[in-house]
């Protein structure tokens, strides 16, 4: 067994959403290197067929394997129901999913046991959240709302602008009859629309708590890496980005979402891997 491993950690999402996890990891893991890979040429995954979602995700994981990652995060709730088990079994590096953290966090926060889950369409069509929640607390009532236009507004860098607010309103208004005290952001894009969601709930005079599981995912990763003895001992942190779509479009949106200088982002074409 290794007692340290200086290789990078891979983070996969269909688009810019996984950056909401990456920004948390960049705060917590000063000695780790990251490879962020996004299938921006084919985002969104939410409206795609399960088999296509699985194939595209696995293609990106093959690229992470070639890039020699020591571990990975499947930072896409829409992919998880269709291929996380396969990825865990078939790749020789450990992979962390992101669904468990959100389920645990929201189950701990809800008082009235009514949770509204905001997700991509493919996630909402699966029963992955119901199953995971049932294992923790079978008395919780879940409603899952698919929010494709909100995902799109984040991809356009407008999640916290009027476009994001109106998209959130369109979806959440339909649940006015459901007395939820907790809203789980079950799509990694949605923390980038959190201000819009917060404003909307305030306008509705609701005091529901919004759960962004990114911090808990960072803790889960720490537990996984230290449990396996593969934390890095090398000082310093480096992040490289690989995208299947236009690198300059990604540079503009990623620098805005991460609040980092766009000229300092190391972005490459994932199709060349
Ligand atoms: N960010 C992804 C998620 O966590 C999905 C967005 C999409 O591609 O539809 O579900």
- DSSP letter at 46? T
Give yes or no for a contact between 33 and 232, defined as CB atoms under 8 angstroms apart. Answer: yes
Q: Evaluate: CB of 191 within 6 angstroms of ligand 1.
A: no
Structure tokens at 230: 């593969």
User: pLDDT for 36-58, tens place per residue?
Assistant: 999 999 999 999 999 999 999 99
- Count how many residues are written for the chain: 273
Percent share of the chain, pLDDT over 70: 99
Give yes or no for a contact between 42 and 66, defined as CB atoms under 8 angstroms apart. Answer: no
Give yes or no for a contact between 168 and 198, defined as CB atoms under 8 angstroms apart. Answer: no
269 versus 1: which is more confidently predicted? 269
Flag whether pLDDT at 125 surpasses 70: yes
Q: Evaluate: CB of 193 within 6 angstroms of ligand 1.
A: no
Nearest to 253 by CA among 157, 120, 116, 117: 157
Q: Evaluate: CB of 79 within 6 angstroms of ligand 1.
A: no
Domain architecture of the chain: domains with CATH? 9-98+215-272 (3.40.50.1860), 103-212 (3.40.50.1860)
Nearest to 226 by CA among 115, 49, 70: 70
The pTM assigned to this predicted structure is 0.96
- DSSP letter at 161? S
Residue nearest to atom 2 of ligand 1 (CA): 76
Rounded average pLDDT over 163-184: 97
Give yes or no for a contact between 15 and 38, defined as CB atoms under 8 angstroms apart. Answer: yes
Cα 163–Cα 193–Cα 57 angle in degrees, nearest 5: 105
């Amino acid at each position: 067994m290794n007692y340290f491993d200086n290789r990078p950690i891979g983070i996969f999402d269909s688009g810019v959403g996984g950056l909401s996890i990456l920004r948390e990891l960049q705060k917590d893991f000063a000695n780790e290197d990251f490879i962020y890979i996004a299938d921006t040429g084919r985002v969104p995954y939410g409206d795609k067929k399960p088999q296509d979602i699985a194939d595209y995700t696995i293609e990106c994981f093959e690229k992470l394997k070639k890039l020699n990652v020591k571990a990975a995060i499947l930072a896409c709730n829409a992919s998880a129901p269709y291929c996380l088990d396969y990825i865990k079994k078939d790749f020789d590096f450990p992979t962390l999913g992101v669904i468990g953290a959100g389920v645990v966090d929201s189950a701990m926060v809800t008082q009235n046991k009514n949770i509204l889950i905001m997700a991509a369409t493919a996630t909402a069509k699966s029963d992955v959240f119901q199953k995971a929640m049932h294992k923790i607390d079978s008395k919780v009532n879940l409603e899952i709302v698919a929010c494709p236009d909100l995902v799109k507004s984040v991809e356009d860098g407008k999640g916290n602008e009027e476009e994001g607010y109106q998209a959130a309103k369109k979806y959440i208004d339909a649940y006015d009859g459901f007395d939820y005290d907790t809203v789980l952001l079950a799509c990694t894009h949605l923390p980038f629309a959190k201000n819009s969601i917060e404003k909307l709930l305030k306008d509705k005079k609701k005091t529901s708590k919004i759960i962004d599981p990114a911090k808990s995912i960072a803790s889960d990763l720490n537990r996984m890496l230290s449990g396996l003895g593969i934390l890095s001992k090398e000082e310093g942190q480096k992040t490289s980005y690989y995208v299947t779509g236009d690198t300059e479009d990604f540079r503009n949106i990623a620098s805005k979402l991460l609040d980092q200088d766009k000229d300092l982002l190391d972005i490459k074409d994932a199709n060349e891997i």
